[in-house]
Amino acid sequence: MKNYRSQSSIEFIILIGFVMFGFLLFFLFINEMGGLKNKEHRNLELKNLAMSIKDEISLASKSSDGYFRQFYIPNNLQGKEISVNITGEMVYINTIDQKEGIAYPVQAVNGQPILGNNTIRKQGGEIYLNQ
C-alpha cells in the first residue's frame, strides 16, 4: 500500500511539471506575439512620420516663393528615441538603437530636420529646412 502512494505522488509531481511547462510555453508565445504587434505599430509610426516629412517637403516644392510653414517631429515613437536626417535626396528615420528604420525619397532640400519644431520655407526656388 505504501508503494502505491509514493508512485501516485511521483506521477502527480510529473503531471504538475508538464502543466507548468505548458503554461510557460503559452505565456512565452503570448509575449512574443505582443512584441511583434509593438514592432509593427512602431514601424507604421516610422512610416507615417517619414511620409509626413516627405509631404511637407513636397508641398513646399510645389508652392510659390515665400511659402513658410512650421511642423513638429516628436522626440520618440512608442518610447523609443529616433533620429531623423536627410542625405542626398532621401529622408532617413531610425530608432537610436538602429533596430528599426525607414527611408523615403524627397526633393532636394537645404538643411536638416530636427526633433521638435521645424520650419520649412521656399525662397528663390530653393527649399530651406530650419535655415
CB contact set of 44 (below 8 Å; sequence gap of 6+) = none
Domain that holds residue 89: 2-129
Please give the C-alpha separations between residue 101 and each of 22, 44, 77, in angstroms, as whole numbers. Answer: 36, 10, 12
Predicted confidence at residue 37, as pLDDT, reads 84
Count of domains forming the chain: 1
Cβ-contact 36, 44 below 8 angstroms: no
The pLDDT profile of the chain, 131 residues, written as one tens digit per residue, is: 555 666 778 888 899 999 999 999 999 998 888 778 888 888 888 899 999 999 999 999 999 999 999 999 998 888 888 999 998 889 999 888 878 888 889 988 999 999 999 999 999 989 999 88
